[in-house]
A and B are shown apart, each in its own frame.
Chain A
Amino acid sequence: NAGVTQTPKFQVLKTGQSMTLQCAQDMNHNSMYWYRQDPGMGLRLIYYSASEGTTDKGEVPNGYNVSRLNKREFSLRLESAAPSQTSVYFCASRGGWETQYFGPGTRLLVL
C-alpha cells in the first residue's frame, strides 16, 4: 500500500519557468490538500479539493493552480515560478477521524 506519492522529489527551476507537481493516493479518499512548508512557519494550505472536479483556495494560493481530474490524483502547477516559491511542498489526503496522510514532499528551489 503506497499511501500518498509525490513526484518529483526535488526540482530546480529558473525564475519564470513552469512546472507541475504530481500527487496520487491509493486510499480512496475524497479530500486532498496541497501545503507548503517554510522554515519557522509550519505548513500552510495552498489549495484543497473535496472531490473530483472541485477545488478551493487555501491560505496562500497566489501563483499556483491545481487540477483534480480524478479521485486519485491532485496536481499543483506553478505557471511562472518565483524565488518566493522556493519551499517544500506536501500533498495530503484525508481519511477517517479527520486524519491526514502526507506524501514525502517535493523540494523546490527557484533561482
Chain B
Amino acid sequence: GDSVTQMEGPVTLSEEAFLTINCTYTATGYPSLFWYVQYPGEGLQLLLKATKADDKGSNKGFEATYRKETTSFHLEKGSVQVSDSAVYFCALAPRDTGRRALTFGSGTRLQVQP
C-alpha cells in the first residue's frame, strides 16, 4: 500500500537557519503531494502542494518540488523564524481511487530558537 516516510525529529534550528525536512513516498501511479503544518493545540493547515511531477509548491517562504525519479517531496525554507515552530506532515493523495484519503508521514517537529 501507499506510504510516506519523513525524517524523525525534533529538528532544532536557530533563527535564520536553512531548513530541510526530507520526505519520500511509495505509491502506485502518480499521487498528489502535500505538506501540512500543525501549530500547538491546533488542527492541520495546508502549507503547500504539488499535483504532478516537477511541480514546485510554495507558500510563506517554504518550497517543495515533486521529484518522481527519487519519489521525494522535501520541504525547504531559506531562513526560519521562531514562528515556524510546529509539526510538519508530508502526505499523499492517490489518484486512482475514489476515496482520495490522505496517507500521512509520522510528522517532524521543528523547534526554532531565537
Query: Cβ of A101: which chain B residues have Cβ within 8 Å of it?
Result: 46
| A42 and B101 within 8 A (CB) | no
| Stretch from B69-77, B78-86, B102-110 that touches the partner | B102-110
Partner of A97, one of B32, B36, B42, B43: B32
Answer whether A43 and B32 are a contact pair too, CB < 8 Å, given A58-B101, A90-B44, A104-B43: no
Counting contact residues on chain A (CB < 8 A from B), the size range is 20 to 34
Q: Is A102 an interface residue (CB 8 A)?
A: yes
Could you count the A-B residue pairs with CB atoms below 8 Å apart for me: how many are there?
A: 55
Of all chain A residues, the one with the shortest Cβ separation from B90 is: A42
Main secondary structure of the interface of A (DSSP, over half): strand
| B100 and A31 within 8 A (CB) | yes
Answer whether A103 and B43 are a contact pair too, CB < 8 Å, given A42-B89, A50-B98: yes
Count of chain B residues with Cβ under 8 Å from any Cβ of A? 22
| B-facing residues in A43-74 (Cβ within 8 Å) | 43-45, 48, 50, 56, 58
C-alpha gap A101/B34 in the complex (Å): 12
| A33 and B44 within 8 A (CB) | no
Residues of A within 8 A of B (CB): 4, 31, 33, 40-45, 48, 50, 56, 58, 90, 92, 94, 97-105
Residues of B within 8 A of A (CB): 4, 32, 34, 36, 42-46, 49, 51, 89, 93, 98-102, 104-107
| Extra contacts besides A33-B101, A41-B106, A50-B99 (14): CB < 8 Å | A42-B89, A58-B101, A92-B44, A97-B32, A97-B49, A98-B51, A98-B100, A99-B49, A100-B102, A102-B45, A103-B43, A104-B42, A105-B42, A105-B43
Q: List 10 A-B contacts (CB under 8 A).
A: A40-B106, A45-B102, A48-B99, A56-B99, A90-B44, A92-B44, A98-B51, A98-B100, A99-B49, A105-B43
